[in-house]
Amino acid sequence: MVRLTARHRRRRHGGVADTGPRQLGAAMALFDLPLERLRDYLPERDEPADFDAFWKQTLEEASAHDLAPEFAPYDTALSEVQVYDATFAGWGGHPIRAWMLLPAGADGVPCVVQYIGYGNGRGLPIDHLSWPAAGFAALVVDTRGQGAKNAYHPGATGDPYGGDFPETPGVMTRGIRGPEHYYYRRVFTDAVRAVDVAAGHPAVDAARIAVAGASQGGGIAQATAALQPKVAAALIDVPFLTHFRRAVEITDEDPYQELVRFLATQPEAEKEVFRTLSYFDGLNFAARGRVPALYSVALMDFVCPPSTVFAAYNHWAGPKDIEVWSWNGHEGGAGRQRMIQLRYLRELFATG
C-alpha cells in the first residue's frame, strides 16, 4: 500500500482537501485495494435494527410541513434556458434554495435533481447548463449551511441548528452524538423533498426524475434514491458519506478527518459516533436502492477511497453500472463522466 502523509499530500494539493472536483493532475498513486479485489469487495454492513423506522419517522415528520415551492423568474440573459430562483420547505419547514433550469418551451421533460459537493453551494445558473442543453430540466439544490468556501460556488441556504457539544470545523460532527440531531438527517430530508418539488413542477415528467451528484452530492443522491419512491434513476459519482469506518482508517484527508479529529479529543464518544453514522452510511442506503444507478470511481482518489465507493456499488440492489477512472483523483471523470451520464439518461428516459 502506498501512503503519503497528510502534510505531503496537502503540499501537493495546495491546501486542505475538499470534496469538490479537483484540477486534473491532483491524483497521487494507487493506495487502496487492487481493482480485481475492489470489484468483489462486499463488506458487512453495520445497520441499526430501527434504520427503516428512523427514516420513516423522519420523513413523516417532515411531511407535516407544506412544501410551499416558489419559482421566481431569474434573468440570466440566456435565450434558450428558462431559469428560476426556487425556494421550498425542507426539514423542519426551513427554507431551502435551489435553481430550476428548463429548456425553453419545456413541457413534460425529464428532470435531474442535482446535489452539491462538500462546502460548496448551488453556484450560479450558468454553471449548470449541460442538463437543459440536453433537453432535461435541472433542479440544483443548495446544501444547508454550506456554500461559503469559495466564490465559484456560493450558497444561499442557512442551517438554524448547531450542536450542544464541541465540534470540529465543517459539518461532519454537527449533532453527531445522536442520529436525531445529526446534521445529515436534515440534509437528506431536504434532498428527498426536493424530488417532490421537481415532480410537482408543471414542466416536468414526474415519471422521469433522476438524482445526481459527486462526492457529498453523490452520497446525498445515493441516500435519496433509496428513500424517495419518485426517483427513477441515480447518477452517483465518487460518493462521500459511505463506509465510514473504512474511510477514516485509510485516508487522512478531509472531510473524513473531521471525524478523526473529533474522536481524538472526545474518545469516549466513539460508540455514539459510529452508531449515529450507521443511520447515514451509504452502504445501508445502497442495499435499499432499486432504481438503475450509474456510479463512478477514481482509483487515485484519496478523499473518497475507491474501496468505499465499490462497497456501496457492490451492495446496490438494483440495476447498476460503474465507470472506473484509473488515473484520476477526486475529480473522477469530470466532463467526460457528464457526457457518459447524458448518454445514459438519454437511453434510459428515451430522450433525443
List the catalytic residue out of 215, 278, 296, 307. 215
pLDDT value of residue 153: 82
pLDDT value of residue 161: 78
Judged against a pLDDT cut of 70, whether residue 180 lies above it is answered with yes
Which has the closest alpha carbon to 131: 342, 296, 331? Answer: 342
Left (φ > 0), alpha (ψ -120 to 50) or beta: where does 289 sit? beta
Identify whether the C-beta of residue 90 lies closer than 8 Å to the C-beta of residue 190: yes
CATH number of 6-12+28-348: 3.40.50.1820
Q: For residue 84, give the C-alpha cell.
A: 428560476
Active site residue 94: no
Active site residue 307: no
Judged against a pLDDT cut of 80, whether residue 190 lies above it is answered with yes
Q: What angle do helix axes 270-278 and 256-265 make, rounded to 10 degrees? A: 150
Q: For residue 117, give the C-alpha cell.
A: 459537493
The domain limits of the chain are 6-12+28-348
Identify whether the C-beta of residue 125 lies closer than 8 Å to the C-beta of residue 226: no
pLDDT value of residue 163: 52
| Cα angle for residues 254, 166, 223 (degrees, 5° grid) | 50
Judged against a pLDDT cut of 90, whether residue 87 lies above it is answered with yes
Q: Is 204 helix (H, G, I), strand (E, B) or coil?
A: strand
Which has the closest alpha carbon to 231: 93, 348, 135? Answer: 348
List the catalytic residue out of 196, 205, 254, 301. 301
List the catalytic residue out of 94, 243, 315, 330. 330
Q: For residue 166, give the C-alpha cell.
A: 464541541
Judged against a pLDDT cut of 80, whether residue 114 lies above it is answered with yes
Active site residue 330: yes
